[in-house]
Amino acid sequence: MTLDEARAYLAELGLELPDAILACLITRPALIEECMDKHGYDTCTRSLIAYYLVGLLAISSGGRRIKSQSAPSGASRSFEYGTLAQQATQLANALKVIDPYGCSTGLLPAPVDAVGLAVFVGQGGPVCGC
């Protein structure tokens, strides 16, 4: 994947990252070449894994997301920096489907929206361990 291809893909997702970070992210899929070779992944599957992996890593890096833009030349662009949990989940699920042997698992960031709740019931009543 080239820098331009990665930039174009992320633009479709509404993401924008500095080239220096993006250049590092696009090297990550090469780390799993051996696993993909071992399991006989075809060229298209390898490309999809690379794109989805770069998308997930871009989301986890905190890149800004284009919220809206307009032009003919009242040029305007607004960004949002809020949670991308839904988009991350979609990409992670897509990656799981095309990478059934889990070659990319070790390169993935932790889930974005992990939340835990524990309630302990004892003599004093329920206690929340959040």
Domains in the chain, number? 1
Q: How far is the C-alpha of 16 from the C-alpha of 9, rounded, in Å? A: 10
- The per-residue pLDDT for 67 is 62
Q: How far is the C-alpha of 92 from the C-alpha of 53, rounded, in Å? A: 8
**Helix axes 85-98 and 43-60, enclosed angle (nearest 10):** 160
Q: Kindly state the tokens that stand for 82.
A: 């809020």
**Mean pLDDT of all residues in 45-64:** 84
Q: How far is the C-alpha of 96 from the C-alpha of 121, rounded, in Å? A: 38
Instruction: Return the closest-CA partner of residue 93 out of 52, 35, 47, 39.
Output: 52
Is the whole-model pTM more than 0.75?
Answer: no
Could you tell me the residue range of the domain that residue 110 belongs to? 3-128
> pLDDT, tens digit, for every residue of 63-121?
556 666 666 877 776 765 445 677 777 778 778 877 889 998 888 877 655 555 555 55
**Mean pLDDT of all residues in 17-29:** 91
